[in-house]
């Protein structure tokens, strides 16, 4: 178990079904069927019963930048505990470094415009978000359903589009090999055009969450 919030290609690829996207600019991995349809429906139910408008760190003046709803998933719920443990076992990262697992719901027209998950080191809010747990290291996101139309995650710099699929995981390293934030992780949750989209996200930090 890794105590620095760090995973690796070797660790992730040791699990059957994990694939690496070929790119020298970014460490990006996918795994289909990481969660079962039953686990996905249980998580959708939790998101449906407890969500609020999403927010962003470092507000940029665009009220339409992130229009989804967010759910702080209850850690004591069995399926949430299972997912946290499964992601820790996949990544090799100590769950103490995990932020609380979050769910997102996107309705038709909702999106999260192009952004990176790390906090800008020079930003106003850096200390507020990172003083205790440090920077975000890895992101793991799981799609909980098939969206009728739209809702893909687009990695603009490497020109990769990931389509939502029940139980499919994507994960990436937010830093470059030298440890600095990697701008090639820029991604856009494209607007849903028909249906709804549900995802959960696990962000890991350099130090224990708290």
Q: Using the CB atoms, write b or e for 28-37: b if 16+ within 10 Å.
A: bbbbeebbee
User: Smallest distance from the beta carbon of 115 to Fe ion, in angstroms?
Assistant: 6
Picking from 170, 183, 209, the residue whose alpha carbon sits closest to that of residue 19 is 170
Looking at 29, 34, 112, 140, which residue binds ligand AKG (CB under 6 A)? 112
By CB under 6 A, the residues from 168 to 187 that bind ligand AKG are: 187
**Whole-number Å distance between alpha carbons of 209 and 98:** 6
Tokens of 189: 């949750």
User: Smallest distance from the beta carbon of 188 to Fe ion, in angstroms?
Assistant: 9
User: Smallest distance from the beta carbon of 14 to ligand AKG, in angstroms?
Assistant: 26
Looking at 5, 83, 117, 203, which residue binds Fe ion (CB under 5 A)? 117
By CB under 6 A, the residues from 189 to 208 that bind ligand AKG are: 189, 199, 201
Contacts of 111 (CB under 8 A, 6+ apart): 66, 67, 68, 188, 189, 190, 191, 192
138 lies in the site for ligand AKG, by CB under 6 A: no
Kindly list the residues in this chain that would bind Fe ion in the complex (CB under 5 A). Answer: 117
């Amino acid at each position: 178990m890794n105590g620095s919030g760090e995973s690796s290609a070797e660790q992730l690829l040791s699990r059957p079904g994990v694939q690496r996207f070929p790119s020298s600019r970014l460490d990006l991995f996918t795994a289909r069927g990481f969660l079962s349809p039953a686990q996905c429906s249980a998580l959708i139910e939790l998101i449906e019963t407890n969500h609020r408008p999403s927010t962003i760190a470092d507000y940029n003046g665009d009220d339409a930048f992130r229009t989804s709803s967010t759910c702080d998933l209850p850690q004591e719920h069995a399926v949430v505990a299972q997912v946290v443990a499964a992601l820790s076992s996949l990544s090799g990262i100590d769950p103490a470094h995990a932020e609380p697992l979050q769910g997102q719901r996107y309705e038709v027209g909702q999106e999260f415009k192009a952004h990176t998950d790390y906090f800008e080191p020079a930003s106003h809010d850096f200390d507020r978000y990172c003083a205790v747990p440090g920077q975000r290291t890895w992101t793991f996101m799981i799609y909980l359903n098939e969206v009728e139309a739209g809702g893909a995650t687009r990695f603009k710099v490497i020109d990769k589009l990931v389509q939502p699929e029940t139980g499919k995981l994507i994960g990436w390293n937010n830093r470059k090999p030298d440890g600095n934030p990697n701008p090639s992780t820029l991604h856009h949750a494209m607007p849903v055009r028909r249906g709804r989209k549900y995802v959960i996200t696990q962000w890991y930090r350099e130090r224990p969450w708290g």
